A = this chain, B = another copy of it.
Amino acid sequence: MADQESFAPPRGMRDLEPTEMARRRWMYDKIQQVMTLYGFQMVEPTAVENLSTLEAKTGPDIKNEIYWFEDKAGRKLGLRFDLTVGMTRMVANRLDLPEPIKIFSISEMWRYDEPQFARYRHFYQWDAEVYGSAEQEADAEAICLGMDILDNLGLKDCEIRISNRKLTEGFLRSRGLESKEKIEATIRLIDKIGKLSKEQITNELRSVGLQESLIEQVMSFAALKDKPDKILAQSPQGLDDKGKQGLEELTKLAEILDKLGRIDRCVYDLSIVRGIGYYDGIVFEAYDRGGEDIGAIFAGGRYDGLCRIYGKRDMPATGVAGGIERMMLSMERAGLFPELKQPPQVFVIAVNDSVRGACWTITQSLRKQGISVDFDLKRRVMRKQLEYTDSTGVPYVIIVGQKELDKGVVKLKDMAKRTESEMTLDDAVNTIKRA
Protein backbone atom coordinates (compact mmCIF):
# COMPACT_ATOMS: atom_id res chain seq x y z
CA MET A 1 0.00 0.00 0.00
CA ALA A 2 2.78 2.43 0.90
CA ASP A 3 4.27 1.85 -2.52
CA GLN A 4 0.95 2.30 -4.26
CA GLU A 5 0.35 5.54 -2.43
CA SER A 6 3.62 7.02 -3.57
CA PHE A 7 2.30 6.71 -7.12
CA ALA A 8 -0.51 9.16 -6.43
CA PRO A 9 0.09 12.91 -6.84
CA PRO A 10 1.81 14.49 -3.81
CA ARG A 11 -0.47 15.82 -1.05
CA GLY A 12 -2.41 18.82 -2.32
CA MET A 13 -1.35 18.36 -5.96
CA ARG A 14 -3.85 17.49 -8.67
CA ASP A 15 -4.15 15.55 -11.90
CA LEU A 16 -6.74 16.88 -14.31
CA GLU A 17 -8.94 14.11 -15.75
CA PRO A 18 -10.71 14.36 -19.15
CA THR A 19 -14.07 15.58 -17.79
CA GLU A 20 -12.49 18.30 -15.66
CA MET A 21 -10.09 19.18 -18.46
CA ALA A 22 -12.97 19.61 -20.93
CA ARG A 23 -14.71 21.91 -18.45
CA ARG A 24 -11.54 23.91 -17.95
CA ARG A 25 -10.94 24.29 -21.68
CA TRP A 26 -14.51 25.48 -22.07
CA MET A 27 -13.99 28.01 -19.24
CA TYR A 28 -10.59 29.14 -20.58
CA ASP A 29 -12.18 29.83 -23.97
CA LYS A 30 -14.93 31.88 -22.35
CA ILE A 31 -12.37 33.81 -20.28
CA GLN A 32 -10.14 34.41 -23.31
CA GLN A 33 -13.12 35.71 -25.31
CA VAL A 34 -13.66 38.44 -22.72
CA MET A 35 -9.93 39.20 -22.44
CA THR A 36 -9.84 39.71 -26.22
CA LEU A 37 -12.90 42.00 -26.16
CA TYR A 38 -11.04 44.14 -23.62
CA GLY A 39 -7.80 44.16 -25.61
CA PHE A 40 -5.66 42.10 -23.24
CA GLN A 41 -2.83 39.99 -24.72
CA MET A 42 -1.93 36.58 -23.38
CA VAL A 43 1.46 35.85 -21.78
CA GLU A 44 2.86 33.23 -19.44
CA PRO A 45 5.65 33.93 -17.00
CA THR A 46 7.92 31.07 -15.94
CA ALA A 47 6.55 28.79 -13.22
CA VAL A 48 9.98 28.51 -11.60
CA GLU A 49 11.26 31.89 -10.39
CA ASN A 50 14.35 33.00 -8.55
CA LEU A 51 13.48 33.03 -4.86
CA SER A 52 14.68 36.65 -4.70
CA THR A 53 12.02 37.60 -7.26
CA LEU A 54 9.29 36.05 -5.13
CA GLU A 55 10.65 37.59 -1.92
CA ALA A 56 10.82 41.06 -3.50
CA LYS A 57 7.03 41.29 -3.63
CA THR A 58 6.11 40.31 -0.12
CA GLY A 59 9.26 40.00 1.96
CA PRO A 60 11.37 37.01 3.04
CA ASP A 61 8.52 35.49 5.09
CA ILE A 62 7.03 34.25 1.82
CA LYS A 63 9.50 31.36 2.13
CA ASN A 64 7.22 29.81 4.73
CA GLU A 65 4.26 29.81 2.40
CA ILE A 66 5.72 28.59 -0.87
CA TYR A 67 7.67 25.71 -2.40
CA TRP A 68 11.31 26.72 -2.73
CA PHE A 69 14.60 24.86 -3.06
CA GLU A 70 18.19 25.07 -4.19
CA ASP A 71 19.12 23.70 -7.60
CA LYS A 72 22.31 21.71 -8.24
CA ALA A 73 24.26 24.94 -8.74
CA GLY A 74 23.06 26.35 -5.41
CA ARG A 75 20.60 28.81 -7.00
CA LYS A 76 17.60 29.47 -4.77
CA LEU A 77 14.45 28.89 -6.80
CA GLY A 78 10.76 28.89 -5.97
CA LEU A 79 7.49 27.86 -7.59
CA ARG A 80 5.38 30.94 -8.38
CA PHE A 81 2.60 31.68 -5.90
CA ASP A 82 0.72 34.02 -8.22
CA LEU A 83 0.90 35.35 -11.78
CA THR A 84 1.21 39.04 -10.89
CA VAL A 85 4.87 38.77 -9.82
CA GLY A 86 5.99 37.21 -13.10
CA MET A 87 3.83 39.46 -15.28
CA THR A 88 5.13 42.57 -13.50
CA ARG A 89 8.72 41.35 -13.78
CA MET A 90 8.11 40.76 -17.52
CA VAL A 91 7.04 44.35 -18.23
CA ALA A 92 9.01 46.28 -15.61
CA ASN A 93 12.12 46.51 -17.79
CA ARG A 94 10.43 46.64 -21.19
CA LEU A 95 11.03 50.29 -21.99
CA ASP A 96 9.90 49.64 -25.58
CA LEU A 97 6.23 48.91 -24.88
CA PRO A 98 3.80 51.82 -25.21
CA GLU A 99 1.48 52.38 -22.24
CA PRO A 100 -0.88 51.11 -21.16
CA ILE A 101 0.26 47.49 -21.29
CA LYS A 102 -2.69 45.12 -20.94
CA ILE A 103 -1.73 41.48 -20.47
CA PHE A 104 -3.36 38.37 -19.06
CA SER A 105 -2.45 34.83 -18.17
CA ILE A 106 -4.31 31.65 -17.20
CA SER A 107 -2.14 29.15 -15.42
CA GLU A 108 -1.24 27.19 -12.34
CA MET A 109 0.57 28.13 -9.14
CA TRP A 110 1.52 26.59 -5.82
CA ARG A 111 1.35 27.60 -2.16
CA TYR A 112 2.51 25.60 0.83
CA ASP A 113 -0.84 25.98 2.59
CA GLU A 114 -2.76 23.48 4.65
CA PRO A 115 -5.28 22.18 2.08
CA GLN A 116 -8.91 22.97 3.05
CA PHE A 117 -12.24 23.62 1.36
CA ALA A 118 -11.71 25.84 -1.71
CA ARG A 119 -8.02 26.36 -0.78
CA TYR A 120 -5.41 24.22 -2.50
CA ARG A 121 -1.66 23.78 -2.65
CA HIS A 122 -1.87 23.63 -6.41
CA PHE A 123 -4.43 25.78 -8.16
CA TYR A 124 -5.11 27.80 -11.28
CA GLN A 125 -5.96 31.46 -11.80
CA TRP A 126 -6.86 33.80 -14.60
CA ASP A 127 -5.07 37.11 -14.08
CA ALA A 128 -5.29 40.38 -16.02
CA GLU A 129 -3.07 43.39 -15.36
CA VAL A 130 -3.07 46.97 -16.67
CA TYR A 131 0.29 48.74 -16.46
CA GLY A 132 0.79 52.44 -17.09
CA SER A 133 -2.48 54.05 -16.03
CA ALA A 134 -3.06 55.78 -12.70
CA GLU A 135 -6.64 56.63 -13.66
CA GLN A 136 -9.76 55.03 -12.23
CA GLU A 137 -10.71 54.03 -15.77
CA ALA A 138 -8.10 51.29 -15.38
CA ASP A 139 -9.51 50.14 -12.05
CA ALA A 140 -12.99 50.12 -13.59
CA GLU A 141 -11.60 48.12 -16.52
CA ALA A 142 -10.32 45.46 -14.08
CA ILE A 143 -13.63 45.30 -12.21
CA CYS A 144 -15.79 45.22 -15.37
CA LEU A 145 -13.53 42.57 -16.90
CA GLY A 146 -14.07 40.36 -13.85
CA MET A 147 -17.83 40.92 -13.99
CA ASP A 148 -17.97 40.13 -17.70
CA ILE A 149 -15.92 36.96 -17.25
CA LEU A 150 -18.40 35.74 -14.61
CA ASP A 151 -21.27 36.82 -16.88
CA ASN A 152 -19.83 34.95 -19.84
CA LEU A 153 -19.61 31.82 -17.69
CA GLY A 154 -23.21 32.23 -16.56
CA LEU A 155 -22.35 33.38 -13.00
CA LYS A 156 -24.54 36.47 -13.15
CA ASP A 157 -25.30 36.90 -9.49
CA CYS A 158 -22.22 38.37 -7.87
CA GLU A 159 -21.48 41.26 -5.55
CA ILE A 160 -18.31 43.35 -5.88
CA ARG A 161 -17.05 44.78 -2.59
CA ILE A 162 -14.78 47.75 -3.10
CA SER A 163 -12.61 49.98 -0.97
CA ASN A 164 -9.33 51.89 -1.21
CA ARG A 165 -6.09 51.27 0.65
CA LYS A 166 -5.20 54.97 0.59
CA LEU A 167 -8.46 55.63 2.44
CA THR A 168 -7.78 52.88 5.00
CA GLU A 169 -4.20 53.96 5.62
CA GLY A 170 -5.10 57.67 5.59
CA PHE A 171 -7.89 56.99 8.07
CA LEU A 172 -5.58 55.11 10.45
CA ARG A 173 -2.89 57.76 10.18
CA SER A 174 -5.32 60.65 10.68
CA ARG A 175 -6.59 58.87 13.82
CA GLY A 176 -3.10 58.91 15.30
CA LEU A 177 -1.62 55.57 14.15
CA GLU A 178 1.74 56.59 12.74
CA SER A 179 3.94 53.46 12.78
CA LYS A 180 4.13 51.69 9.41
CA GLU A 181 4.30 48.31 11.17
CA LYS A 182 1.20 48.98 13.25
CA ILE A 183 -0.70 50.25 10.22
CA GLU A 184 0.18 47.10 8.28
CA ALA A 185 -0.66 44.84 11.21
CA THR A 186 -4.01 46.60 11.61
CA ILE A 187 -4.75 46.23 7.89
CA ARG A 188 -3.97 42.51 8.06
CA LEU A 189 -6.47 42.22 10.93
CA ILE A 190 -9.16 44.20 9.06
CA ASP A 191 -8.63 41.62 6.29
CA LYS A 192 -9.57 38.90 8.80
CA ILE A 193 -12.96 40.40 9.68
CA GLY A 194 -15.53 37.76 8.85
CA LYS A 195 -12.94 35.00 9.23
CA LEU A 196 -12.19 35.64 12.94
CA SER A 197 -14.77 36.67 15.57
CA LYS A 198 -15.16 40.30 16.58
CA GLU A 199 -13.61 39.44 19.97
CA GLN A 200 -10.58 37.82 18.37
CA ILE A 201 -10.03 40.83 16.10
CA THR A 202 -10.40 43.23 19.04
CA ASN A 203 -7.94 41.24 21.12
CA GLU A 204 -5.44 41.08 18.29
CA LEU A 205 -5.75 44.83 17.70
CA ARG A 206 -4.96 45.29 21.40
CA SER A 207 -1.83 43.14 20.96
CA VAL A 208 -0.78 45.37 18.06
CA GLY A 209 -0.95 48.23 20.59
CA LEU A 210 -4.11 50.10 19.56
CA GLN A 211 -5.98 52.07 22.24
CA GLU A 212 -9.56 51.07 23.01
CA SER A 213 -10.99 54.23 21.45
CA LEU A 214 -9.05 53.61 18.22
CA ILE A 215 -10.11 49.97 18.16
CA GLU A 216 -13.71 51.14 18.33
CA GLN A 217 -13.14 53.62 15.50
CA VAL A 218 -11.43 50.97 13.38
CA MET A 219 -14.29 48.53 13.90
CA SER A 220 -16.90 51.19 13.02
CA PHE A 221 -14.87 52.20 9.96
CA ALA A 222 -14.60 48.62 8.78
CA ALA A 223 -18.31 48.05 9.39
CA LEU A 224 -19.23 50.63 6.75
CA LYS A 225 -20.80 48.75 3.88
CA ASP A 226 -23.47 50.16 1.59
CA LYS A 227 -24.22 51.46 -1.88
CA PRO A 228 -21.33 53.60 -3.13
CA ASP A 229 -23.21 56.93 -2.93
CA LYS A 230 -24.29 56.19 0.65
CA ILE A 231 -20.73 55.37 1.76
CA LEU A 232 -19.31 58.40 -0.01
CA ALA A 233 -21.91 60.57 1.78
CA GLN A 234 -21.07 59.21 5.25
CA SER A 235 -17.32 58.77 4.81
CA PRO A 236 -15.03 59.67 7.69
CA GLN A 237 -14.09 63.31 8.25
CA GLY A 238 -10.75 64.83 9.13
CA LEU A 239 -8.71 62.63 6.81
CA ASP A 240 -5.14 63.39 5.82
CA ASP A 241 -4.25 64.02 2.16
CA LYS A 242 -3.76 60.33 1.41
CA GLY A 243 -7.12 59.47 2.89
CA LYS A 244 -8.75 62.25 0.87
CA GLN A 245 -7.11 60.97 -2.28
CA GLY A 246 -8.51 57.53 -1.55
CA LEU A 247 -12.01 59.00 -1.25
CA GLU A 248 -11.49 60.98 -4.45
CA GLU A 249 -10.53 57.77 -6.28
CA LEU A 250 -13.61 56.00 -4.95
CA THR A 251 -15.75 58.94 -6.11
CA LYS A 252 -14.31 58.81 -9.63
CA LEU A 253 -14.70 55.03 -9.76
CA ALA A 254 -18.36 55.27 -8.70
CA GLU A 255 -18.95 57.80 -11.49
CA ILE A 256 -17.56 55.38 -14.10
CA LEU A 257 -19.35 52.30 -12.74
CA ASP A 258 -22.60 54.27 -12.63
CA LYS A 259 -22.20 55.50 -16.20
CA LEU A 260 -21.59 51.89 -17.31
CA GLY A 261 -24.68 50.64 -15.48
CA ARG A 262 -22.56 48.42 -13.25
CA ILE A 263 -23.06 50.17 -9.93
CA ASP A 264 -25.98 47.99 -8.83
CA ARG A 265 -23.72 45.00 -8.34
CA CYS A 266 -21.13 47.02 -6.41
CA VAL A 267 -20.97 47.93 -2.73
CA TYR A 268 -18.36 50.05 -1.01
CA ASP A 269 -17.21 47.93 1.90
CA LEU A 270 -14.48 49.49 4.03
CA SER A 271 -13.49 46.12 5.51
CA ILE A 272 -12.00 45.21 2.11
CA VAL A 273 -8.24 45.80 2.23
CA ARG A 274 -6.67 42.69 0.59
CA GLY A 275 -4.16 41.36 3.09
CA ILE A 276 -1.07 41.70 0.95
CA GLY A 277 1.25 44.63 1.57
CA TYR A 278 1.75 46.04 -1.88
CA TYR A 279 -1.82 47.18 -2.65
CA ASP A 280 -1.98 50.97 -2.53
CA GLY A 281 -5.25 52.19 -4.07
CA ILE A 282 -8.63 50.78 -5.12
CA VAL A 283 -9.06 47.19 -3.85
CA PHE A 284 -11.98 44.84 -4.44
CA GLU A 285 -13.30 41.34 -3.91
CA ALA A 286 -16.17 39.71 -5.76
CA TYR A 287 -18.43 37.08 -4.22
CA ASP A 288 -20.82 34.76 -5.96
CA ARG A 289 -24.08 35.15 -4.05
CA GLY A 290 -24.61 31.41 -4.15
CA GLY A 291 -21.15 30.69 -2.80
CA GLU A 292 -19.97 32.98 0.00
CA ASP A 293 -18.35 29.95 1.64
CA ILE A 294 -16.10 29.52 -1.39
CA GLY A 295 -14.44 32.85 -0.71
CA ALA A 296 -13.79 35.64 -3.21
CA ILE A 297 -14.41 34.46 -6.76
CA PHE A 298 -12.20 37.22 -8.11
CA ALA A 299 -10.26 40.02 -6.47
CA GLY A 300 -7.68 42.63 -7.21
CA GLY A 301 -6.60 46.18 -6.92
CA ARG A 302 -4.04 48.84 -7.56
CA TYR A 303 -0.35 48.37 -6.83
CA ASP A 304 1.40 51.44 -8.19
CA GLY A 305 4.62 50.68 -6.28
CA LEU A 306 5.40 47.19 -7.58
CA CYS A 307 6.90 47.93 -11.01
CA ARG A 308 9.71 50.02 -9.57
CA ILE A 309 10.71 47.08 -7.38
CA TYR A 310 11.14 44.82 -10.41
CA GLY A 311 12.63 47.18 -12.93
CA LYS A 312 13.61 50.55 -14.20
CA ARG A 313 10.11 51.37 -15.37
CA ASP A 314 8.12 53.08 -12.64
CA MET A 315 4.56 52.51 -13.83
CA PRO A 316 1.25 52.60 -11.99
CA ALA A 317 -0.56 49.26 -12.16
CA THR A 318 -3.88 47.67 -11.37
CA GLY A 319 -5.23 44.20 -11.92
CA VAL A 320 -7.65 41.42 -11.20
CA ALA A 321 -7.37 37.67 -10.74
CA GLY A 322 -9.77 34.82 -10.13
CA GLY A 323 -9.43 31.23 -9.01
CA ILE A 324 -10.41 28.65 -11.59
CA GLU A 325 -11.26 25.97 -9.01
CA ARG A 326 -13.50 28.36 -7.07
CA MET A 327 -15.31 29.34 -10.26
CA MET A 328 -15.74 25.65 -11.08
CA LEU A 329 -17.26 25.02 -7.64
CA SER A 330 -19.76 27.86 -8.13
CA MET A 331 -20.55 26.73 -11.66
CA GLU A 332 -21.07 23.11 -10.62
CA ARG A 333 -23.44 24.17 -7.84
CA ALA A 334 -25.44 26.28 -10.27
CA GLY A 335 -25.39 23.54 -12.92
CA LEU A 336 -23.83 25.90 -15.46
CA PHE A 337 -21.58 23.51 -17.35
CA PRO A 338 -22.97 22.29 -20.67
CA GLU A 339 -22.60 18.65 -21.71
CA LEU A 340 -18.98 18.55 -22.85
CA LYS A 341 -18.39 14.83 -23.26
CA GLN A 342 -16.87 14.50 -26.68
CA PRO A 343 -16.62 10.91 -27.81
CA PRO A 344 -15.49 10.46 -31.42
CA GLN A 345 -18.31 10.98 -33.92
CA VAL A 346 -18.03 7.47 -35.25
CA PHE A 347 -16.47 4.09 -34.46
CA VAL A 348 -15.47 1.85 -37.37
CA ILE A 349 -16.15 -1.84 -36.69
CA ALA A 350 -14.59 -4.77 -38.54
CA VAL A 351 -16.92 -7.75 -39.04
CA ASN A 352 -13.87 -10.02 -39.10
CA ASP A 353 -10.08 -9.92 -39.54
CA SER A 354 -10.25 -10.00 -43.35
CA VAL A 355 -11.64 -6.43 -43.46
CA ARG A 356 -9.22 -4.84 -40.96
CA GLY A 357 -7.34 -3.16 -43.79
CA ALA A 358 -10.52 -1.62 -45.16
CA CYS A 359 -11.29 -0.30 -41.66
CA TRP A 360 -7.90 1.42 -41.47
CA THR A 361 -8.40 3.20 -44.78
CA ILE A 362 -12.01 4.13 -44.01
CA THR A 363 -10.89 5.55 -40.65
CA GLN A 364 -8.17 7.59 -42.31
CA SER A 365 -10.48 8.83 -45.03
CA LEU A 366 -13.11 9.98 -42.51
CA ARG A 367 -10.49 11.78 -40.42
CA LYS A 368 -9.22 13.53 -43.56
CA GLN A 369 -12.77 14.78 -44.04
CA GLY A 370 -12.78 16.26 -40.54
CA ILE A 371 -14.75 13.54 -38.77
CA SER A 372 -13.36 12.29 -35.47
CA VAL A 373 -13.08 8.52 -35.65
CA ASP A 374 -11.98 5.65 -33.51
CA PHE A 375 -11.58 2.05 -34.66
CA ASP A 376 -10.70 -1.24 -33.03
CA LEU A 377 -7.09 -1.11 -31.84
CA LYS A 378 -7.37 -4.46 -30.06
CA ARG A 379 -8.37 -6.81 -32.91
CA ARG A 380 -11.46 -7.82 -30.99
CA VAL A 381 -14.29 -9.92 -32.39
CA MET A 382 -17.27 -7.94 -33.65
CA ARG A 383 -19.42 -8.55 -30.58
CA LYS A 384 -16.70 -7.14 -28.29
CA GLN A 385 -16.29 -4.13 -30.55
CA LEU A 386 -20.02 -3.43 -30.32
CA GLU A 387 -19.93 -3.73 -26.52
CA TYR A 388 -17.05 -1.28 -26.42
CA THR A 389 -18.80 1.29 -28.61
CA ASP A 390 -21.82 1.15 -26.29
CA SER A 391 -19.58 2.24 -23.42
CA THR A 392 -18.03 5.18 -25.32
CA GLY A 393 -21.18 7.06 -26.28
CA VAL A 394 -20.26 7.43 -29.97
CA PRO A 395 -23.36 8.55 -31.91
CA TYR A 396 -22.56 6.49 -35.04
CA VAL A 397 -20.99 3.16 -35.89
CA ILE A 398 -19.84 2.13 -39.33
CA ILE A 399 -19.86 -1.65 -39.75
CA VAL A 400 -17.49 -2.91 -42.42
CA GLY A 401 -18.08 -6.39 -43.87
CA GLN A 402 -16.80 -8.07 -47.03
CA LYS A 403 -20.28 -8.49 -48.50
CA GLU A 404 -20.97 -4.76 -48.15
CA LEU A 405 -17.50 -3.82 -49.42
CA ASP A 406 -18.18 -5.88 -52.54
CA LYS A 407 -21.36 -3.88 -53.09
CA GLY A 408 -19.49 -0.60 -52.46
CA VAL A 409 -21.41 0.21 -49.28
CA VAL A 410 -21.05 0.19 -45.50
CA LYS A 411 -23.61 -0.24 -42.74
CA LEU A 412 -24.22 2.97 -40.78
CA LYS A 413 -25.73 2.45 -37.35
CA ASP A 414 -27.36 5.37 -35.54
CA MET A 415 -26.69 4.54 -31.89
CA ALA A 416 -29.45 6.77 -30.46
CA LYS A 417 -32.19 5.57 -32.81
CA ARG A 418 -30.80 2.00 -32.89
CA THR A 419 -31.35 1.97 -36.65
CA GLU A 420 -29.00 0.58 -39.26
CA SER A 421 -28.87 1.16 -43.00
CA GLU A 422 -26.61 0.39 -45.93
CA MET A 423 -25.17 3.33 -47.87
CA THR A 424 -22.04 4.46 -49.67
CA LEU A 425 -19.25 5.83 -47.54
CA ASP A 426 -19.89 9.29 -49.01
CA ASP A 427 -23.51 9.17 -47.90
CA ALA A 428 -22.41 8.00 -44.45
CA VAL A 429 -20.01 10.96 -44.25
CA ASN A 430 -22.81 13.35 -45.16
CA THR A 431 -25.19 11.81 -42.63
CA ILE A 432 -22.59 12.09 -39.86
CA LYS A 433 -21.67 15.65 -40.81
CA ARG A 434 -25.29 16.73 -40.84
CA ALA A 435 -25.92 15.28 -37.37
Q: Closest Cβ of chain B: how far from A291's Cβ, in Å?
A: 25
Q: Is A373 an interface residue (CB 8 A)?
A: yes
* Chain B positions within 8 Å of A342 at CB level: 36, 41
| Pick from B21, B38, B44, B122: contact of A42, CB under 8 Å | B21
CB distance from A326 to the nearest CB of B (A): 19
- A15 interfacial contact with B, CB 8 Å: yes
Instruction: Classify chain A's interface size.
Output: 35 or more
Given the interface pairs A37-B370, A98-B391, A377-B100, the reply to whether A46 lies near B89 with Cβ below 8 Å is no
Judge if A17 is at the interface, Cβ distance under 8 Å.
yes
Asked if A71 CB lies within 8 Å of chain B CBs, one says yes
Stretch at the interface among A130-138, A218-226, A237-245, A264-272: A130-138
With A36-B372, A48-B13, A371-B37: A311-B7 Cβ-Cβ less than 8 Å? yes
Partner of A93, one of B4, B137, B343: B4
Question: In the assembled complex, which residues on chain B have CB atoms less than 8 Å from the CB atom of A77?
Answer: 10, 67
Does any Cβ of B come within 8 Å of A81's Cβ? Answer: no
- Interface residues as binary, A98-116 with B (CB distance below 8 Å gives 1, 0 otherwise): 1110110000101010000
Q: For the complex formed by this chain, how many copies does it contain in all?
A: 2
Q: For A33, give the chain B residue with the smallest CB separation.
A: B370
Q: Which of B6, B93, B144 makes the CB contact (< 8 A) with A364?
A: B144
Bound complex: CA of A138 vs CA of B71, how far in Å? 39
Task: Report whether A360 and B259 are in contact in the complex, using a CB–CB cutoff of 8 Å.
Answer: yes
Instruction: Write the chain B residue with the least CB distance to A255.
Output: B357
Instruction: Determine the chain B residues whose CB is within 8 A of the CB of A95 once the complex forms.
Output: none
Apart from A7-B53, A16-B45: 7 A-B pairs, beta carbons within 8 A: A15-B43, A17-B90, A22-B42, A98-B391, A132-B377, A137-B356, A259-B360
6 closest Cβ pairs, A-B complex: A69-B69, A39-B374, A39-B344, A18-B41, A133-B377, A13-B46
